[in-house]
Structure 1
């Protein structure tokens, strides 16, 4: 079965998810062809060196029966580039048994390329990973693309239940929940004591946040929460791992307000950081099933999370949920955990137990292969 996978610019969770799925599909009888921007192909290893190009610009992936073709599909509307991408997609999608687009921008362009749902049209699966956020004008502009993506797809998959509800409200024919599994982290190489020594935190409790420094993550609320426990002794060591467009501003704001928080930049040792942490905190305005929260709970780090998007169904009562934008609630939740060793241990254990029942990467790929087979009317391997 030939499945063409389309995604737009990605630097994080969506690209990691697609990479994971593509690695597993050949063993399930699915031969994937990945279409994505060149930079996304390079970042997630879809592309190969120039000498491996085939006629037409497609490049062979490693030992499997898959190819990669670069097409510039952006996460925001760019009329001229979008028209060019649409023309390329119409040519490249020919011959696929099923097309799977990730993100509503990629889904909208792919839906335009394939045309309206009708007998004989190549089936389209669309996975929605994110909600449309930002100003009212931006949401109004992009809601039309959401509606187009919902109505052109044969099956819409939502990474969280609120995305499924949104797709149905916009006219999706068939919308289903499809949780995205976090890749399994390797065991910590350094262990708790060595990592804490390298971080220089001494006997201070460690509060960890991981994620892109972008408006959606609302690190301003975290800064305000940290400012509220400045009187504590020992003072918690608050560490933020990640980079992004707000890095310089957040560092400047923290320095000006004399807030004790360290921005570590991009890190590849998340397992070691989690081993050193006492509490994990996420203050996002919206998330689906945040991969870093899955990783924290698997590692047995108690979680404080905003009650937005898919986080309540992910965390439930095995962490502490707080209102978005409430520095007081974040501060109180973190302090509660730091002051109560028994509660911290209990939530750590409950997080491990809860995460043991989540679908893993193999189950995620198997679910998708089953959907492809359903739409293409063939039997999966």
Structure 2
């Protein structure tokens, strides 16, 4: 299906934007696809610069954007390729700190407005923490506007020298619902059978396997519930540097946990789950939390970061890094269908309070309009 950009008001040519993704967390990649779709529908030309593997999952061309493969590296060749794409842009919008840094390098001394959305908090220790602060300062000062997905990120951007930092509406597409119970139940049974959860509770966690995601807490909690009959099975979808360490622990301690690696069927896994588990608050608007509530899957989450603001009373919150509390809450919920149903109903109400895709696009477009009012006529 072809999309034709309609003229902008006042006789101007269509606004030309470049959206820059780094490695692209699932949340930021889904957001860019949603944003691209809404912008194209409003007559904006959108080019998405992202690694090819990200485009294969999110199909930016399918919503009318042009995709250009740009590796996630900050090496000179990658920056030069990005500079070439940005040469004709009226505005560049980078998503994430590292994408913001690459866009800053690519734009150099150009006067093209740069918008950067910070979706997640970045972590570093020791000497790397100093480098991270320098990187954040460089990006915050280069951006005409920094959009933060949560108030703590807005505060962080301001503390790093941002001229203009604002809270951003970041909506994700709500999943399509099936009207038929049978249509919903068949893939649910298939997904449970595929991961080995037939006849036992299924718990799902999702995210990059790195140090700040709380996976040690999850495995400690699994040790607490492994004596149940049947023992709940925890499956973790995601890939990362901790995989071999986690796998070793699972085998050595005989934990009821499976590492599934990177998956493109997370929504199906979640729909099949009895509970979703979120042991960290790294993402300001956790994609897992949003998808769990949309899918009416009870959520147990660490009470950290902006998680409580996002989920309200639609999840069971436990202290961060407390495996005993996490395990006790999981076991209690598995034995309390009434409480699970109450969480589902609360979740439906909570998702209705979140920004819609239209509201998200409208806010971003208003920022673009502010920054490009003096564009030449077409």
Q: TM-score range by the shorter chain?
A: 0.7 to 0.9
Q: Secondary structure at the match of 1:122?
A: coil
Matched with 1:56 is none
Change (3 A) 1:251 1:122: same
**Alignment correspondent of 1:253:** 249
2:40 to 26, 45, 66: 26
- Normalised by the length of structure 2, the TM-score is 0.84
RMSD of aligned Cα (Å): 2.7
Question: 1:103-130 CA deviation, whole Å, 9 max, x = no partner?
Answer: 12222332344457xxx93221111122
Structure 1 position 137 matched with structure 2 position 118: no
Q: Could you list the structure 1 runs, at least 4 aligned residues long, displaced by more than 6 angstroms after superposition.
A: none
Q: Does 1:152 align with 2:166?
A: no
Which of residues 224, 236, 242 is equivalent to 1:240? 236
Given candidates 12, 35, 42, the residue that maps to 2:49 is 35
Find the residue that maps to 1:176 and give its secondary structure: strand
Contact residue 216 and residue 285 of structure 1 kept, 8 A: no
Residue of 89, 96, 101 corresponding to 1:103: 96
Alignment partner, residue 343 of structure 1:
339
State the alpha-carbon separation in 1 of the partners of residues 257 and 249 from structure 2: 11
SS in 1 for 2:312: helix
Deviations 1:354-379 (A, max 9, x none): 11221233332232222212221289
Q: 2:356 aligns with which of 349, 355, 360?
A: 360
1:271-323 alpha-carbon deviations (Å, 9 max, x no partner)? 43333322211112522111121111111111111123331211123212222
Aligned CA distance change for structure 1 residues 259 and 140 (closer, same or farther; 3 Å): same
SS of residue matched to 1:5? strand
1:13 is the counterpart of 2:27? yes
Q: SS state of the match for residue 190, structure 1?
A: helix
Residue 93 of structure 2 aligns to a residue whose secondary structure is strand
Are the counterparts in 1 of residues 57 and 264 from structure 2 also a CA contact under 8 Å?
Answer: no
Aligned length: 355
Q: In the aligned structure 2, how far is the partner of 1:144 from the partner of 1:369?
A: 29
Match of 1:325 in 2: 321
CA contact (8 A) 2:94 2:114 kept: yes
Equivalent runs, 1:189-338 vs 2, <5 Å: 190=186, 192-193=188-189, 195-197=191-193, 199-284=195-280, 286-338=282-334
Determine if contact 2:234/2:257 at 8 Å carries over to the other structure: yes
Preserved contact between residue 154 and residue 174 of structure 1 (Cα < 8 Å): yes
- 1:52 corresponds to: none
Change (3 A) 1:278 1:157: same
Distance 1:233 1:147, change over 3 A: same
What's the counterpart of residue 66 of structure 2? 67
Maintained 8 Å contact 1:132/1:139: no
- Inter-partner Cα distance in structure 2 for 1:174 and 1:351: 33
Contact preservation (8 Å) 2:136, 2:160: yes
Question: Which 5+ residue runs of structure 1 have no aligned equivalent?
Answer: 47-60
Contact 1:37–1:70 under 8 Å retained in 2:
yes
Q: Partner of 2:48: helix, strand, or coil?
A: strand
Separation (CA, whole Å) in 1 of partners of 2:298 and 2:59: 33
Measure, in 2, the Cα distance between the counterparts of 1:192 and 1:43.
22
CA shift in 2, pair 1:270/1:44, >3 Å? closer
